[in-house]
Amino acid sequence: MRQTSLFRSSCRVLLLFETLLLSACAARHAATPADVIHAHAHSGGSVVAFSHSGDLMVSGGWEGAVQLWQLPEGKRISRWRAHDDSVNGLAFLAEDRRVLTAGYDGVLAEWMLGGKQVRRIETPAPVTNMVAGALHDRVITGHADGSVRVWRLADFSLIETRHGHRGAVKAVALDPQMLRYASSGSDGMVFAWEEGGAVRALASPPMDAWSLVFSPDGRQLYGGTWFRLLRWDLADGSLTSLPTAHHGIIRSLQFTGDGNTLASISRQTDSAVYFLDPATGAVKRRFQKHDLCGAAVAVSPRGRYLATTSDDASVRIWVLQPGE
């Protein structure tokens, strides 16, 4: 079965429930509407990412296409077919002149901004999640067979492979401070390790962690599960579970530039977009929710823009700060 079909029917069936569940809150809690909405950007949205400058954004979808958008107006610059299945990872490279993509077809590829392929490799299994860090020259990929791979960004050479999960990898994360990684899987396990070091199993969450992100200082690992925000202390591996206003799986998380806020989006019985307090899980700001299950959220490096995509096929952009 193609990965892109796994959640479609459930999201549509649960849409009515979501609407009824959240309608009572709508009057009490105003949500900031998106400044730009591309209603049919993809057959279903899967991932979004900003350039380092914050002037460009890319989105990927179920159909394997990648689209490049100019900010702040959100004008589409280019579109190309990057993969034969869902795009599950995006990152800007080479001073924002190229884009790295990963797909459920198992391909890791680099592209010019117009869609000309620079290089590609076929990995041993479908890629379910990917993150990249230019500072450390690393790419980490999670796979459907439970493996996690670390690659050198400069030449796609394989550095290490881990086979800790008994089932598909749901999320991977890269520590911004050091060569340390984390992964979560459908087996309920969450692992952390330093490059070349032993893998450490962290305290198991009550339900699978569907998203992971290291805190900017590298001291904590955050994750998203049904309704709750997860926080691991990496000094001792202990876990704190924080309630949130989400009514479904927290599918995507990203810290804003100051490190004091977590952007989040949820799915299944929810499509809400929030800024959360990482200390408490409380909502700091609400944004317009999607019409179907949320898939991905991203904040530009300087915090000027917020972008999301979801199963409703739209790409949405908020201008959080005025231009200079």
The string of pLDDT tens digits covering residues 255-294 is 998 889 999 999 999 999 999 999 999 999 999 999 999 9
Kindly provide the b/e burial profile for residues 276-306, where b requires at least 16 CB atoms within 10 angstroms of the residue's own CB. Answer: bbbeebebeebbbbbebbbbbbbbbeeebbb
Beta bridge partners of 32: 287
Residue 26 has pLDDT above 60, yes or no: no
DSSP 279: T
The string of pLDDT tens digits covering residues 53-89 is 999 999 999 999 999 999 999 999 999 999 999 999 9
Percent of the chain exceeding pLDDT 70 equals 91
Verdict on whether the full-model pTM lies above 0.85 = yes
In a domain, 200, yes or no: yes
In a domain, 323, yes or no: no
In a domain, 317, yes or no: no
Q: Per-residue pLDDT averaged across 222-240, rounded?
A: 96
Q: Per-residue pLDDT averaged across 4-31, rounded?
A: 50
Q: What is the pLDDT of residue 11?
A: 64
Which is nearest to 88 in space by CA: 309, 267, 318? 309
- Mean per-residue pLDDT of the chain: 92
CATH number of the domain where residue 124 is located: 2.130.10.10
In a domain, 306, yes or no: no
- DSSP output for 91-134: EEETTTTEEEEEETTSEEEEEETTS-EEEEEE-SS-EEEEEEET
Distance of CA 203 to the CA centre of its chain: 22
Which is nearest to 97 in space by CA: 75, 118, 125, 66? 118
Give the count of domains, the chain: 1
In a domain, 81, yes or no: yes
Q: What is the pLDDT of residue 57?
A: 98
In a domain, 272, yes or no: yes
SS3 4: helix
SS3 218: coil
CB atoms within 10 A of CB 198: 6
Q: Note down the domain range covering 74.
A: 3-301
In a domain, 16, yes or no: yes
Percent of the chain exceeding pLDDT 90 equals 87
As a whole number of Å, the CA-based R_g of the chain is 18
Distance CA 227, CA 249 (A): 6
In a domain, 312, yes or no: no
- DSSP output for 21-53: HHHHHHTTS--BPPSEEETTSSSSEEEEEE-SS
